[in-house]
Amino acid sequence: MTTVSHAVWNSSTEGGDRDALYLRRTLRSGQRVDHDGNVVVFGDVHAGAEIVAAGDVLVFGHLRGVVHAGAAGAETARVCAWRLEPVQLRIARMIARSPDRGDEPSVAPEVARIEGGQVVIERADRADDGRVPRG
Amino acid sequence: MGEVIVVTSGKGGVGKTTTTANLGTALAQSGSRVCLVDADIGLRNLDVVLGLENRIVYDLVDVVEGFCRLRQALIRDKRLEGLSLLPAAQTKDKTAVTPEQMKGLTDELRQEFDFILVDSPAGIEQGFKNAIAGADRALIVATPEVASVRDADRIIGLLEAAEIPPARLIVNRLRPQMVRKGDMMSVDDIVDILAIDLIGVVPEDEQIVVTTNRGEPAALIQGSRAGEAYRNIARRIKGEEVPFIDLEETSGFLGRLRRMFGQA
């Protein structure tokens, strides 16, 4: 477990100015990560695991657990995963849950963020919320 | 020096005790000196599955508390020379033993046996902590059910935290026909979710019910599908490369044809 001094995205998120936490591991059921900034996981987050971050949460792997980005209230926080299939996803004070049945498996990297008072999920390569400049 | 292997699962009723009894039997059959330790204090079962209940005089708690010597509590199996059992106490509970005491006990057993298999209780509390205290490695038993796989995942995380090397997985009670119809998780699905190495797959087998009730492990019976699977796992524990039985093998003319062309 290492902490480095730069956030991954040049983040304007209130919580994201702080150090990002980088994890290279599998988070299994019952394991929980709390961090006062962005969290970047290189590995899978299994169902039953929890990540709570003041900033963004990026998962370079399969996200099946519960994740809370912007836990201190940052509504600009987002969750990005190579495969985004969380049981429940929270951003700031919004809670989104997976459909009760018949959800299609995720096939591409996706980003979840708040837009118009609800959590929206879109393909990472098509997401454009103005936070990350195009170019 | 013997090796201590804990058999655990998190969830109850997935076949830890049956697995421990059968793997111990298969290992002893192949010439190893094996001691089975029942760490499920207060709910002992391993003696019943092995048909040794009537031979118990002293138990694990008696040894730990110094009422008897370890040797006095060990029960020799009635069929196999190399197999012994250290039974659990039935009138005490998990708090009767500490992890340190369990570690001392398994270290003592290492001197005399090649393999010490510890049958863990269900759950993640004291009993589980006792069971893994002296373990060199772990075998995780999971059935093809979401709840069982979820609990196995939790246990794997706890074993990692306890710095026990990566556990290996036994998928128990697989019903190939249901998998084929898409009604049951496949072995690949489970391995995919848990991300650990597989050491064996035990098919659902009615004979297990009969043999466990009779106190005769299925591993002793030739022609039992589950028994064969357990014998293969025992060989893999000893480091042998044993090919996996293809339980999902397609049958019938088309299946044979596919096999001939190496596709099945």
Which value does ipTM take for this structure? Answer: 0.75
Per-residue pLDDT reduced to its tens digit, A23-67 = 999 999 999 999 999 999 999 999 999 999 999 999 999 999 999
pLDDT at B48: 94
The number of domains in chain B is 1
Is A61 within the bounds of a domain? yes
Chain A positions touching chain B (beta carbons under 8 Å) = 26, 28-31, 44, 46-48
For the CA atoms of B60, B64, B68, B69, the dihedral, rounded to the nearest 10 degrees, stands at 90
Containing structural domain, residue A105: 2-123
What six digits make up the tokens of B195?
Answer: 């991300």
CATH of the domain at B229: 3.40.50.300
CB B150 to CB A29 under 8 A?
yes
Per-residue pLDDT reduced to its tens digit, B51-80 = 999 999 999 999 999 999 999 999 999 999
CATH of the domain at A95: 2.160.20.70
Residues of chain B contacting A48 with CB distance shorter than 8 Å: 150, 153-154
For B210: left if phi > 0, alpha if psi spans -120 to 50, otherwise beta; the answer is alpha
Containing structural domain, residue B68: 3-260
Is A105 within the bounds of a domain? yes
Residues of chain B contacting A31 with CB distance shorter than 8 Å: 157
pLDDT at A94: 94
Per-residue pLDDT reduced to its tens digit, B240-254 = 999 997 776 555 555
**Least CB–CB distance from A44: residue in B124, B151, B195:** B195
CB B157 to CB A44 under 8 A?
no
Residues of chain A contacting B159 with CB distance shorter than 8 Å: none
**Least CB–CB distance from A48: residue in B124, B153, B160:** B153
> What is the residue-averaged pLDDT of chain B?
93
Is A129 within the bounds of a domain? no
The number of domains in chain A is 1
pTM, full prediction: 0.84
Is A130 within the bounds of a domain? no
**Alpha carbon distance B170, B193 (integer Å):** 14
Return the number of CB contacts < 8 Å for A and B. 25
What six digits make up the tokens of A79?
Answer: 């969750």
Per-10-residue mean pLDDT of chain B, 264 residues long, equals 97 97 98 98 95 93 96 96 96 94 97 98 96 97 97 97 95 96 95 96 95 94 93 97 77 54 49
Is A44 within the bounds of a domain? yes
